[in-house]
Amino acid sequence: MYDTLNDPRVKDLYQNKANKFDLYFGEYFMNSHELGLAHKLKVPIILSLPAQPFDFVGSLIGNPRELSYVPTVNVAVEQGKWMSFSQRLQNFCMSWLLRIFMIKQHMGNKKKYELLYGHDSDLPKYEDLTKNISLIFFNSHSLSEGPVRPNLPGIIEIGGIQVKDQPDPLPDNIANFLDNSKHGAILFSLGSNVRSSHLSQKVVTSMFRVLSGLKQNVIWKWDQIENIPGNSSNIMFSKWLPQDDILAHPNIKLFITHAGKGGIIESQYHGKPMLALPVFADQPHNAAVMVNFGFGLSLEMIKFEETLFKDRLNEILENPKYTQSVENFSRLYRDRPLTARETVLYWTEYVLRHHGAKHLQSPIVHMSFIEANNLDIFALFLSVLVIIIMFLLFVIRLLFILFKDSLVNEKEKQK
């Protein structure tokens, strides 16, 4: 992104005085230097993050860090329960590790910002870039996903934003395949990052052997159509799939997924149980959360075994508790005053209507570290306490001296 911001065509956006902008709308993930463009354009900022309000992002607009009951990265808590001591310890340590990591990221971002805009005295210091943020959209929905957390007005949750309010018609071949699945169907997709070449031949052969033996039909996303794992009447291979629209089909009984956040959200929205095959990044955590909610089972790809794969598939397909759990969640997830898309439109227009909506901002954004943490008040209390202690010590010492002198005088009188 640094090279993009340095491109003459991007610079022309603010150098050309004829250009007029009302808002900067960008995705945020450890890229604070990019906010300099918004200050160049002299517009308010709306950010988006494809995740929940993690403390290190929510803190940009002053969202409180409640580490005792709000999990951060890689801490999965069962729905309706609270963190155990070990989980709270893990949560606390992870939060502080992320803060240290973010300090390093900010050092790199600050260098980029100064290289891009350091010559412009009209721009704020790097540390003040985030003070122009109006609100942040998060791809989450705490009311259904939990846990309940204290979110500021500038935290807007739009979980499921990628899900269409009404699914599009499926391509004829897929529609016919699903419509004719009298025993139901399974969608199998490992996303766009995990390609067929990343899987060993042994794993692929095992997957095909299990899936081809099912009575359900299977739609399998496979990027090498010229080299499919095998032929079976119940399996359709496709290089590209309209995942959201397929999951909306009533005959889909199971989603085999790599546990990417987007896919899990779509499956939850449509009330489909899952078998997760996580590979890397946030996938193991997403899978653990999904399992804790009772929406399915997980089998790490690195531990893949044909027997385990078959057993867990059959468990989900034959035990209705997984479908019931995710369907109950789906009803709660959809129960909102506005859809996710309507929410984005409303709040974006709200910021525009109110010229940045500064009233949404927490005062803490504009306070120094000392003020925000009441360190000056603690310093005052400590000073007063020290003065009181010193005064008491002085009084005690004075009394001791007076008492000592009186004893000496009394002894002299007795002589």
User: pLDDT tens for residues 119-169?
Assistant: 888 899 999 998 889 999 998 898 888 778 888 999 999 999 999 989 999
Statement: residue 31 has pLDDT above 70: yes
Chain-wide mean pLDDT for the chain?
Answer: 90
Name the pairing type of β-strands 45-49 and 133-138: parallel
- Burial, 359: exposed, middle or buried (Cβ in 10 Å; 0-12, 13-18, 19+)? exposed
Please, which pLDDT band fits residue 415 given cuts at 50, 70 and 90? low
HEC string of the chain equals CHHHHCCHHHHHHHHCCCCCCCCEEEECCCCHHHHHHHHHHCCCEEEEECCCCCHHHHHHHCCCCCCCCCCCCCCCCCCCCCCCHHHHHHHHHHHHHHHHHHHHHHHHHHHHHHHHHCCCCCCCCHHHHHHHEEEEEECCCHHHHCCCCCCCCCEEECCCCCCCCCCCCCCHHHHHHHHCCCCCEEEEECCCCCCHHHCCHHHHHHHHHHHHCCCCEEEEECCCHHHCCCCCCCEEEECCCCHHHHHCCCCEEEEEECCCHHHHHHHHHHCCCEEECCCCCCHHHHHHHHHHCCCEEECCHHHCCHHHHHHHHHHHHHCCHHHHHHHHHHHHHHCCCCCHHHHHHHHHHHHHHCCCCHHHCCHHHHCCHHHHCCHHHHHHHHHHHHHHHHHHHHHHHHHHHHHHHHHHHHHHHHC
Most trustworthy range by pLDDT among 1-15, 51-65, 189-203, 206-220:
206-220
- Per cent of the chain over pLDDT 70 is 96
Return the sign of the alpha-carbon dihedral for residues 158, 145, 282, 235: negative
Please, which pLDDT band fits residue 4 given cuts at 50, 70 and 90? confident
Greater pLDDT, 371 or 2: 371
pTM of the model: 0.82
Statement: residue 80 has pLDDT above 80: no
Please report the pLDDT score of residue 349 as a whole number: 97
Greater pLDDT, 400 or 154: 154
Please report the pLDDT score of residue 198 as a whole number: 80
- Per cent of the chain over pLDDT 90 is 57
- Mean pLDDT over 375-385 rounds to 95
C-alpha span between 56 and 260 (Å, rounded): 21
Statement: residue 191 has pLDDT above 90: no
Greater pLDDT, 225 or 380: 380
Residue 290: CB atoms within 10 A of its CB come to 25
Please report the pLDDT score of residue 149 as a whole number: 83
C-alpha span between 150 and 142 (Å, rounded): 10
CATH superfamily label, 172-334: Glycogen Phosphorylase B; (3.40.50.2000)
**306 vs 210, 270, 302, 332, CA distance in Å?**
7, 28, 12, 35
Phi, psi of 297 (to 5 degrees): -130, 170
Please report the pLDDT score of residue 62 as a whole number: 87
Statement: residue 354 has pLDDT above 90: yes
Please report the pLDDT score of residue 245 as a whole number: 96
Please report the pLDDT score of residue 412 as a whole number: 67
Q: How many residues does the chain have?
A: 415
Beta-carbon contacts of 217 under 8 Å, excluding residues fewer than 6 positions away, are 177, 178, 180, 181, 183, 184, 185, 186, 234, 235, 236
Please report the pLDDT score of residue 66 as a whole number: 85
Please, which pLDDT band fits residue 57 given cuts at 50, 70 and 90? confident
Please, which pLDDT band fits residue 344 given cuts at 50, 70 and 90? very high
- Chain segment 230-267, per-residue pLDDT in tens: 999 999 999 999 999 999 999 999 999 999 988 999 99
Statement: residue 89 has pLDDT above 70: yes
Please report the pLDDT score of residue 285 as a whole number: 85
Please, which pLDDT band fits residue 281 given cuts at 50, 70 and 90? confident
Domain boundaries, the chain: 2-162+339-366, 172-334, 374-410
Statement: residue 79 has pLDDT above 70: no
Please report the pLDDT score of residue 380 as a whole number: 96
Statement: residue 379 has pLDDT above 80: yes
Please, which pLDDT band fits residue 403 given cuts at 50, 70 and 90? confident
